[in-house]
Amino acid sequence: MMATRRRPSRWSGGRRFALLTVAPATIILIVLSVFPLLYSLRLSFTDQQLLSLVPPRFVGLANYAQLLQDNLFWSSLGVAAAFALSVVTVQLGVGLALALALYRLPRYQQFIATLLLIPSILSSSVASFQWRSLFDYSSGPLNYFLGLLHLPLLSWTADPRLALPSLLLVDFWQWTPFVTLLLLAGLHALPASVFEAARVDGSSSWQILRYQTLPLLRRVIAITVILRLIGAFKVFDIIYVLTAGGPGSATESLAFYNYVQGFRYFSVGYSAAMSYVSVIIVIVLARVILRYMERPVGRPAADVPVAEAAV
């Protein structure tokens, strides 16, 4: 007699256990992430105002069309782009230089790395309040030192030409150490044999950096760039504390303008549309960087300098 094998139920054994284990996280994800995402998408197609007596209407893509004509949106996008570009360029350059310098100082590396962690473990708002004191026109230490040097005192956060650079300085102070540590960790993960071989082959320090270190470090650099790009694009705390978007709208970033629309004017439909545009911009930028990261590390032989090719 042929034994009848019972077909395993969808809910039997390990499968049920697996589903039960995954369920809480899935439910939390749906409730806290998926639902708000879909809800805000729906909101972005309405003209909902939290404090209006006029009932909300479905307006299709009108909010998105309005964004295109909104001067404040474009200027805030410009501020966010300028901020993000400066942050990524400067912090990556300085962070890389510091990481390379630290890599050559194995003796003090741990101590310095610990010190470097301090700014990034502070909350951005706390750091901003400290910087507000530093920037103070009449009693701030920065102007005190300028005075000692007989230089003109600066209105750090009130001069339209200086306000954004001042915010960049705060972000630079807080996040460059973090970039340094990420790149330092990346440097430690590189295979030492490659560098030894390069040195044996007579490569100069610059050649090793240009043709070995940077290409091998590319993925870490890409991740660092994405992290800082996202952080810089959504910068809010330091603007809120230090300039409130001013003077005028000189430091009103996209995230800050979105906050103003959503939480000061309660134009939640418009604000939701703006959030989606921000998300799309960040996703596209991240995608471009990831594509660059996925490219193979090697280069065509024709590109290799003669000295290297000879090796």
Partner 1 sequence: MQVGPISRRRFLSTSAKAGAALAMGGAVTTFLEACSATPNASSAAASASGTVAVEIDEGQNANPFQWFNPNMKAKFGATTNIIGLPFVGQYEKIVAEMVTRSSVYDVLVFPPQMLGDFVSNGFLAPLSELGNESDFNLTDVLPAYRDPNLRRNGKLYAAMYDGDILQIAYRTDIFSAAGISQPPQTWDDFLNIAKELHKPPTQYGNAFLAQRGFCYAWFMNIFAALGGKWFTADMKPAINTDQGVQALQMLVNLKQYAPPNILQIGYQELNEAYLNGSTAMVVQWDDLALKAEDPSQSKVVGKNAYAPCPVRNYMPYSRVMAVSAFSKNQQNAYKVIQYMDSADVSIKYVYDPKCGEDPFRQSHLDASKVKDHLGNPSMPAAQAQSYVGAIKTCLTTGYPELSIPGAPRYLDILDLFVNEALAGSLTPSQALTQAANEWDSITASLGQDNQVKAYSDWVNAFHAAGVTY
Residues that bind partner 1 (CB under 8 A): 47, 49-54, 71, 137-138, 153, 155, 157-160, 243-250, 260, 263-267
What is the SS3 string spanning the chain?
CCCCCCCCCCCCHHHHHHHHHHHHHHHHHHHHHHHHHHHHHHHCCECCCCCCCCCCCECCCHHHHHHHHCHHHHHHHHHHHHHHHHHHHHHHHHHHHHHHHHHCCCCCHHHHHHHHHHHHHCCHHHHHHHHHHHHCCCCCHHHHHHHHCCCCCCCCCCCCCCHHHHHHHHHHHHHHHHHHHHHHHHHHHCCHHHHHHHHHCCCCHHHHHHHHHHHHHHHHHHHHHHHHHHHHHCCCHHHHHHCCCCCCCCCCCHHHHHHHHHHHCCCHHHHHHHHHHHHHHHHHHHHHHHHHHHCCCCCCHHHCCHHHHHC
Kindly tell me which of 91 and 243 has the beta carbon lying closer to partner 1.
243
Least spacing, CB of residue 206 vs partner 1, in Å? 44
Report the residue number, 119 or 247, with the smaller CB distance to partner 1: 247
Please say which residue, 231 or 262, places its beta carbon nearer to partner 1: 262
Closest separation in Å from C-beta 215 to partner 1: 44
Q: Which is closer to partner 1, CB of 211 or CB of 236? A: 236
Least distance (Å) between residue 242 CB and partner 1? 10
Residue with Cβ nearer partner 1 (146 or 227): 146
Tell me how far, at minimum, the Cβ of 52 lies from partner 1, in Å: 5
Least Å distance, CB 24 to partner 1, is 23
Pair 235, 83: CB distance under 8 Å: yes
Q: Which residue number, 62 or 208, has a Cβ lying nearer to partner 1?
A: 62
Report the 10 Å Cβ neighbour count for 104. Answer: 8
Q: How far is the CB of 236 from partner 1 (least distance, A)?
A: 13
Q: What are phi and psi of 46, to 5 degrees?
A: -120, 165
Q: How far is the CB of 250 from partner 1 (least distance, A)?
A: 6
Contact 182, 220 (CB under 8 A): yes
CB closer to partner 1, 143 vs 212: 143
**Minimum distance from residue 72 beta carbon to partner 1 (Å):** 8
Closest CB to partner 1 among residues 67, 90: 67
CA distance 137 to 99: 34
